[in-house]
Amino acid sequence: MRKETSTNFSNENTLKEYCAAHRVLMQISGRWKMSILFALTERELRYHEFIEVLPNLSERILTKQLSELQKDNLIRKEKDKTASVYWLTSKGKDFITIIKSFQSLGDL
């Protein structure tokens, strides 16, 4: 968390307000968000399955990142009788397509 009086805080707020690309990148920033999104490209997952797929991810961070991804409408959550089930929204699928196109740039 940055101090509200810092230049970085001010710059970040300016970018959030005026730069659409920055707002988009903020939706997928976070150490585990991309891994979570890519895990969901294979199939829908229950909460406990994320821990199996991403064993170094703590439950606290998983919960936080899942919540943020839901808030940004990249994933959906539905509770069944035994667990919460997560899957990509159409917006999340679009993000994956874009990120995969970026991967090819890494090969240049």
Residue 52 is predicted with a pLDDT of 93
Bigger pLDDT: 102 vs 41: 41
Query: pTM value?
Result: 0.77
Average pLDDT value for residue range 85-90: 97
Answer for the pair 45, 85: CB distance below 8 angstroms, yes or no: yes
Interatomic CA distance for residues 47 and 96, integer angstroms: 20
Q: Is the pLDDT of residue 23 over 90?
A: no
Interatomic CA distance for residues 31 and 55, integer angstroms: 14
Least confident of 3-17, 27-41, 75-89: 3-17
Sheet holding 75-79, edge to edge: 45-46, 84-88, 75-79
Question: How far is CA 45 from each of CA 14, 50, 85, rounded to the nearest angstrom?
Answer: 36, 7, 6
